[in-house]
């Protein structure tokens, strides 16, 4: 939980967006929401778009001025889509997270989001230590405010998860089966080769690149033990079927 | 511009979300949007939430089935919030971007987003090479669909911006053969299923998890066109052999 991070929305026009912001925050484990003079709040559209993050809406603090919203914060970031007259320290959301996530338990951090149509004013931006810019394409650079909050809180969450993580499992998820050992794979490839010869698909006198291609394909997938057993089961079923049919034929020759 | 990335929305209920997705895509330089049986589209709510990305809505393709939406794609990611019965290769949005962004100009990539209330079905998720999970907090893990698209397209954009230094090809090396398209893989899986039934390995009345396991294994390897042809050649050889033996037997009964 990034409980040292405060999201501050300045003069938000559409209450639906406040709901979207609350949902995005709760998805990523944030809960400190502060609204500077919202146009309409509380409002049913905020409830609807929050999709269950009503606790964040209920605990949101509504204040009259930006200074009040950030009075107790040690570090303030302001979101900005445009170039400003005076250059200001500028970070992207990943850099913001790299700075802000480790401050948990030490400092309170505010991230400011401006009006839907014009963002933050120059005066508001000058209250910030850093500006943060989401690298959208230049010709269409204005994100929905809830989408912008989602991107930035996602980066905070990624930083938090990375800080907790030890080693990450193969394929990014816990697997239910152990991976096959080399010798099991070798037995599979031997079995596969015998079967392919048995069904006249592989000519041992002219094997070309068939087995290397099949090795490369299956090894790329890094099979687990059950998968290897399934494949060997298929090979056995092929052999059994071919032999059975042959013996039916063979008996009568 | 990530013009090799297709965003596929499956059975979206709220047209406003389609508009939000279009805006998020356009912010990050994507334009290929495909809608599988949306409930309401076109719709004024989609226009309103798109906030100027109406060109994406106008050019969005509407189709009846997921297979149609991804037929020409070589790599398919499915967004998933829940744990599934069989574990599937799982990436986070940053890992998705690391895989997908360098495929520009080489492969077409689809990213699937499911219904607002229940996501993608198991059957739909089994059509994917990888699942992608946005690491939300477990107790409140369901993102708004436009917010989810924003996070993933943001990561693609970050990768694109970062990779202007030079791109790394799939598997870390240039490949000699083009990757197989989704429809080629589906034909392979149909053929495999028929053959497994034919050799009495798969019981159609009790298929259990056999086909999902084989799908998962082969899709993990992301087969190229020659590999798919080799596998289908093996299946044909099995069928031919089994029939040949059967007819030998059959002649004499």
Per-residue pLDDT reduced to its tens digit, B206-244: 999 999 999 999 998 889 999 999 999 999 999 999 887
Instruction: Label residues B24-59 b or e (16+ Cβ within 10 Å = b).
Output: bbbbbbbbbbbbbebeebbbebbbebbbebbebbee
From B230's Cα to the closest Cα of chain A, the distance in A is: 8
Q: What pLDDT does residue A252 have?
A: 46
Task: Describe the crossing of helices A210-220 and B225-252 by its angle, rounded to 10 degrees.
Answer: 120
List helix spans (H) across chain A: 15-27, 44-50, 54-59, 66-70, 93-100, 122-125, 145-164, 182-198, 210-220, 225-251
Please say if the pLDDT value at position A43 is more than 90. yes
Q: What is the mean pLDDT of chain B?
A: 91
For residue B60, the domain's CATH number is: 3.40.1280.10
Q: Does the residue B133 lie in any domain?
A: yes
- B129 domain residue, yes or no: yes
Per-residue pLDDT, averaged over B131-136, amounts to 94
CB atoms within 10 A of CB B70: 29
pLDDT band of residue A177 (cuts 50, 70, 90) is confident
Percent share of chain B, pLDDT over 90: 75
C-alpha B10: how far from chain center: 12
Judgement on whether residues B94 and B159 belong to the same structural domain of the protein: yes
Contact B89 A173 (CB under 8 A): yes
- Given B172, B194, B216, the domain boundary residue is B172
Placement of tokens 């990757």 in the chain: B179
Does residue B90 fall inside a structural domain?
A: yes
Inform me whether the pLDDT recorded for A39 exceeds 70.
Answer: yes
Statement: residue A253 has pLDDT above 50:
no
Does the pLDDT of residue A1 top 80, yes or no? no
Q: Looking at the DSSP assignment, which residues form a beta bridge with residue B66?
A: none
Distances (CA, A) of B55 to B10, B22, B31, B47, B62: 20, 9, 9, 10, 15
B129 and B233: one domain?
A: no
Q: What is the pLDDT of residues B43-98, one digit of tens each?
A: 999 999 999 999 999 999 999 999 999 999 999 999 987 666 678 888 999 999 99
Residues A15 and A38 in one domain: yes
Q: Please report, for the domain that includes residue A210, its CATH number.
A: 1.10.8.590
- B153-199 pLDDT, tens digit per residue, is 999 999 998 876 554 445 555 677 888 999 999 999 999 999 999 99
CB-CB neighbors (< 8 A) of A157 in chain B: 135-137
Residue of chain A whose alpha carbon sits nearest to that of B150: A147
The residue among B234, B240, B242 with the most chain A CBs within 10 A of its CB, best to mutate, is B234
Nearest CA in chain B to A241: B199
ipTM: 0.81
Inter-chain CB pairs, A–B, below 8 Å:
196
**At which of A164, A186, A207 does a domain end?**
A164
Let me know whether B193 and B152 are in one domain.
Answer: no
- Nearest-angstrom CA–CA distance, A146 and B51: 14
* pLDDT given for residue A162 in this prediction: 86
Name the band, by pLDDT with cuts 50, 70 and 90, for residue B149: very high
- Give the Cα separation of B102 and B107 in Å (integer): 9
Domain membership of residue B177 (yes or no) is: no
Indicate whether B109 and B67 sit together in one domain: yes
Per the structure block, which two tokens stand in for B18? 């389609």
Q: Which residue of A has its CA nearest to B211?
A: A230
The alpha-carbon gap from B153 to the nearest alpha carbon of chain A, in Å, equals: 10
Give residue B42's domain range: 5-172
**A102, A79, B154, B151: CA torsion to nearest 10:** 70
Q: What is the DSSP letter of A126?
A: T
* pLDDT score, position B161: 87
Examine the fold and report which residue of A113, A131, A164 is the final residue of a domain before the chain moves on: A164
What's the rounded Cα separation, in Å, for the pair A22 and A33?
8
* Interval A67-118: pLDDT, tens: 999 999 989 999 987 666 667 888 999 999 999 999 998 889 999 999 999 9
Domain count of the fold of chain A: 2
Question: Nearest to residue A76, comparing CAs of A7, A140, A136, A25?
Answer: A7
Q: How many residues does chain B have?
A: 253
């Amino acid at each position: 939980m990034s409980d040292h991070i405060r999201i501050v929305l300045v003069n938000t026009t559409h209450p639906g967006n406040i709901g979207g912001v609350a949902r995005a925050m709760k998805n990523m484990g944030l809960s400190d929401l502060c609204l500077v003079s919202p146009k309409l709040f509380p409002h049913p559209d905020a409830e609807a778009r929050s999709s269950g993050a009503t606790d964040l809406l209920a605990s949101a603090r509504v204040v009259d001025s930006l200074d009040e919203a950030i009075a107790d914060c040690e570090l303030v970031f302001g979101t900005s889509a445009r170039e400003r007259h005076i250059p200001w320290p500028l970070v992207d959301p990943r850099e913001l997270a790299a700075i802000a996530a480790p401050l948990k338990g030490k400092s309170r951090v505010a991230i400011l989001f401006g009006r839907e149509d014009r963002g933050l004013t120059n005066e508001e931006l000058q209250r910030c230590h850093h500006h943060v810019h989401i690298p959208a394409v230049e010709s269409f650079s204005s994100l929905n405010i809830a989408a912008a909050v989602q991107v930035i809180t996602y980066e905070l969450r990624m930083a938090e998860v990375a800080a907790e993580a030890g080693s990450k499992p193969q394929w990014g998820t816990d697997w239910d089966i152990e991976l096959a050992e080399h010798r099991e794979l070798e037995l599979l490839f031997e079995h596969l080769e015998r079967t392919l010869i048995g069904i006249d698909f592989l000519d041992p006198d002219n094997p070309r690149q068939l087995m290397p291609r099949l090795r490369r394909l299956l090894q790329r997938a890094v099979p687990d033990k059950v998968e290897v057993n399934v494949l060997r089961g298929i090979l056995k079923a092929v052999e059994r079927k071919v032999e059975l049919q042959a013996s039916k034929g063979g008996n009568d020759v």
